[in-house]
Structure 1
């Protein structure tokens, strides 16, 4: 392996980094020898996904005890997958008992630019309370609630360009967000893209010139009806189209007109209804 030029090793690592399914292979590449590890570790740590409690704990140990010098390589941190669903299980989100580990991680990742947190409401408040970020984010998305700690955190992240909220936001929460933007032009002052429920996006668009939005909506479908099933009844398909249109129209109706807006996307979560269409 020592005869392989460094640029070849780096090219392999870069290729593996581009596909998340190759993370295991990239990890194996880092185990070949010390030289390969030092060349490829930058790509291994650049995009980090933590999808279990043990992964969060082990990563905290790695960055704070075992290999603290690798913390500077972390560019993107994704803790549990963000899912837009009314019945999101707390076991698939950051709970308050994991907050100390996650805070320890956030305290050392000085080059972090993208942060995505599937997190419970209480845990997000505890995580951001009195935190002093060592990083400057370009992107952030979460599944918590609007709170004073979150507003304070966002006020200290003026470089954020993309923001996502994967939660059922109340109008009161949206008003708090809108008031913060009104009082401080630097608050999300560089925001150009957002994803979330329609009322959240509407609050942002009243104060910031967004160019791209993704509206998160729910539609209902009978459990035994599939659009790609040739046997699906006409009534089932028609019902889905009607629900989809109503959700879409309802979301669009909340969005104020803006010349800056160039792109609107819809992200649908299908919620099954009891019973079946025959």
Structure 2
């Protein structure tokens, strides 16, 4: 069960990062290029306030396991030595409610999960490398997209597309390797999904919605997973209030590799 949960959390992280790629700077009416440019502009924000809701149903041997997760992500002075970063998770599964948090402040990266509190001394550049190494750093995001369409909703541009299952499979494998969560005995296939993104008049993402299905195998057991994700970027491009980090007492200091691998 623990390995299955880690695998699920890894997949959640991978798909929550789809909107964080680096595009190009050209102006274009091509939907895929508009998406890439919005990804680039959003990823360069110094302050960020975002929330995400995820619902998953994993079906195995005709039994369903429901999992829900709420995420609250805030960052100030992102990409500088004054950076503060806070991500809170609330997960519900198997009748249990689990709270997790990760944050960075004053040269330390903190993780509070599953009853364990750990911290590691890290330069802000190391944290950035960890985050950037986990995102889709490519100028060819369109290779993962098919049936791309664009519509207007007032001043907003709405882009919808389907995920290319075969290419996304390879992408997820590479991403999970980069995240350090790829292990023997886990695999996935049959990926299908559709994505809807909303881009405001200033060129920033304001919302990303995704529906995804895939078949997964962990330690010889097969299951099907259905996932819905709804992510909102709050007032992109605007400064946010000072981040209040949790109480720093009670954290065990560890080597940074234990938090990033």
Give the TM interval when normalised to the shorter protein: under 0.3
TM-score, with normalisation over the residues of structure 1? 0.19
TM-score, with normalisation over the residues of structure 2? 0.20
Q: Which has the higher strand share?
A: 2
Give the structure with higher Rg (CA): 1
Higher relative contact order (CA 8 A, sep 6+): 2
